[in-house]
Amino acid sequence: MIHDMKPEDMIGDYKETRLALYRSITRLILYTDIETPYPDGKLIVSTTDKEGIITHVNKAFVEISGYTEDELLDSPHSILRHPDMPSAAFKDLWDTVNKGIPWQGYVKNLRKDGGYYWVKATVIPNIRQGKVVSYTSVRRKPSRTKVEECIKLYPTLF
Amino acid sequence: MPYQFTVSPDFSPDHLSGWFFFNTWLQKQTGQAIHLETYDSFQAQLEAIQRNEVDLIYANPFDAAMLVREKGFLPLVRANGVADEAIIAVSAESSVDKVTNLMPGITIAVTEDPAVLMMGMIMLESADLSADNIQTAIHNSYVLVAKNLLQGNADVGIFLAEAYDDLANITKNKLKILVRSQISVIHHSLMIGPSLADKRDDIQNLLVAMALGEKGNSVLKSLGFASWIKVEDEEMEFMIDVMDTLAI
């Protein structure tokens, strides 16, 4: 399940918008300008089922997202969707992994408290007995140069 | 013909005798003739695997995908509480105190260990460093990686965290850690090949119970860990999936 974001969870001044996610589900998004730096040396790991519902998260994911493990499990991965991310990026992600091909890109993710963090994400299809059964996403610390390029590029993709 | 057992060439020299004790223990427990063969390099070990000369292996995580997907190996156990982690370090006298201060053109001292090299290179990515804009000097041991850092022959060293922690204090005092990985899910595993697959459950049970016996406990101590824990097929697949994402 995915819920609207709540003012009481926000840290700092926030803006509001409503994002269309998937299957005509929309979500009230509250977001701030506060960036959380990616922690050195850590990988954020999660697994989703074929519909993008989170089935596994590691500790680093819980720490940086601000959500509890229980809040993340059974939620769609789009719980992290930031309004500054163009939907074209996620269409490309799903089009790619649905073909059984890994996807890689730089993503601005939304925290529960309205802040954000940048990652370099790699998503691969998990193939068991020749069939895609789930997807694993591993995020690592991005190069600041690449992030700066994305900050310029992404607004042009809306 | 005895079955052939081998250990990833990155094992600590301090544990070489431990692996021979382990092999003796395993032969007694299983009643099978097993020969321990060690290789000087990952390449030599890989060639033996390709010739189907290996039946049992304590495998580097980098080799797990090939062993499972191409050679039909299955996981048995892993060392309890031991994960493969990497450290990026510089000389204590270096003016660099974080990875993002590192510049293209630097020389990086490494060993042949492919998993550690991969984890290390991932941590250098945030400084826009890649194989294309650095020099890599490969050494036979982490002691030599440290020595080359201290002698100024390299700007940065990539270490297996366990090997870094085992360096003499006098050496560590002259080094500075920039970052230590906290990946947790990448580990060496004892794996069994198709020729021994019918004995997998029996060997797995023996290994999981190894720490309970006095003899087994003593052998484990000589290997540097307290017990083995079972690795499920899905856990191995998950590690391989994570390794696959890091290799891209």
Q: Does B237 touch chain A (CB under 8 A)?
A: yes
**SS3 readout for B175-243:** EEEEEECECCCCCCEEEECHHHHHHHHHHHHHHHCHHHCHHHHHHHHHHCCCCEEECCHHHHHHHHHHH
* Residue after which a domain boundary falls, among B180, B204, B227: B180
Q: Other CB atoms closer than 10 Å to residue B117's CB: what's the count?
A: 20
d(CA A90, CA A105): 10
Out of A42, A102, A136, closest to residue B242 by CB: A136
Cα separations (Å) of A13 from A8, A30, A34?
Answer: 12, 10, 9
User: Domain check: are B194 and B168 in the same one?
Assistant: no
Q: What angle do CA A92, A97, A98 make, to 5 degrees?
A: 100
Per-residue confidence (pLDDT) for residue A107, from 0 to 100? 98
Residues in chain A within 8 Å Cβ distance of B122: 140
Cα-based torsion angle of the residue sequence B80, B81, B83, B87 in order, rounded to the nearest 10 degrees = -150
Q: What is the CATH number of the domain that holds B10?
A: 3.40.190.10
Instruction: Test B99 with A40 for CB contact under 8 angstroms.
Output: yes
Count of CB pairs separated by less than 8 Å, A with B? 66
SS3 B155: coil
pLDDT at A49: 95
- Mind telling me how many Å the CA of A5 is from chain B's nearest CA? 30
Instruction: Answer whether B233 touches A (CB < 8 Å).
Output: no
Residue B18 and residue B104 share a domain: no
pLDDT at A128: 87
Say yes or no for a CB contact (<8 Å) between A141 and B123: yes
Same domain for B67 and B101, yes or no, is: no
Q: Inter-chain contact A126–B100, Cβ cutoff 8 Å?
A: no
Contact B246 A122 (CB under 8 A): yes
If asked whether residues B171 and B197 sit together in one domain, one would say no
Query: What is the predicted pLDDT for the residue at B1?
Result: 86
* B172 and B53 fall within a common domain: no
The first and second tokens of residue B182, run together, are 């906290």
User: Which residues form the domain of B132?
Assistant: 86-180
- In Å, the largest CA–CA distance within chain A is 50
- Residues of chain A contacting B130 with CB distance shorter than 8 Å: none
The rounded distance, in Å, linking the Cα atoms of B17 and B9 is: 14
Residues B73 and B121 in one domain: no
Instruction: Give the per-residue pLDDT at B248.
Output: 86
Residues B50 and B133 in one domain: no
Same domain for B172 and B104: yes
Helix (H, G, I), strand (E, B), or coil: what is residue A51? Answer: coil
Q: Across the interface, do B181 and A145 touch by the CB < 8 Å criterion?
A: no
CA distance B232 to B185: 13
The answer to whether A123 contacts chain B (CB < 8 Å) is: yes
Domains, chain A, ranges and CATH? 7-157 (3.30.450.20)
Give yes or no: residues B8 and B72 share one domain: yes
Distance, in Å, from the CA atom of B248 to the CA atom of B245, rounded to the nearest integer, reads: 6
Instruction: Kindly state whether residues B112 and B168 are assigned to the same domain.
Output: yes
- Residues from chain B that touch A128, judged by Cβ atoms under 8 A, are 237
pLDDT at res. A129: 86
Per-residue pLDDT of chain A (158 residues; tens, 9 = 90+): 788 999 999 999 999 999 988 777 899 999 999 999 999 999 999 999 999 999 999 999 999 999 999 999 999 999 999 999 999 999 999 999 988 899 999 999 999 999 999 999 999 999 888 899 999 999 999 999 999 999 999 999 99
Q: Does B202 touch chain A (CB under 8 A)?
A: no
Pairing of strands B175-180, B34-37: unpaired
Q: Which residue has the tokens 């600590």?
A: B12
Smallest CA-to-CA distance from B14 within B164, B173, B163 is with: B163
**B 132-161 residues inside an 8 A Cβ radius of A:** none
**Residue that terminates a domain, selected from B180, B197, B212:** B180
Q: What pLDDT shows up at residue B78? A: 98
How far is B222 from B215, CA to CA, in rounded Å? 11
Among B180, B200, B226, residue at a domain's last position: B180
B93 and B156 belong to one structural domain:
yes
- Residue B35, pLDDT above cutoff 80: yes
A122 and B128 within 8 Å at the Cβ level: the answer is no
pTM for the whole thing? 0.91
Whether chain B has a CB inside 8 Å of the CB on A41: the answer is yes
Question: What are the chain B neighbours of A140 within 8 Å (beta carbons)?
Answer: 122, 125, 246
> Taking CB atoms and an 8 Å limit, are B122 and A140 in contact across chains?
yes
Q: What is the per-residue pLDDT for B13?
A: 78
Residue A31 φ then ψ, to 5° = -145, 150
* B65: contact with A, CB 8 A cutoff: no
In a shared domain, residues B109 and B176: yes
Cα B121 from Cα B203, distance rounded (Å): 36
Among the partner residues A41, A47, A122, nearest to B181 by beta-carbon distance: A41
Please give the tally of structural domains in chain B: 2
Chain A interface, best mutation among B128, B164, B182, by max A CB count within 10 A: B182
Closest chain B residue by Cα to residue A123: B245
Q: How confident is the model at residue B158 (pLDDT cuts 50, 70, 90)?
A: very high
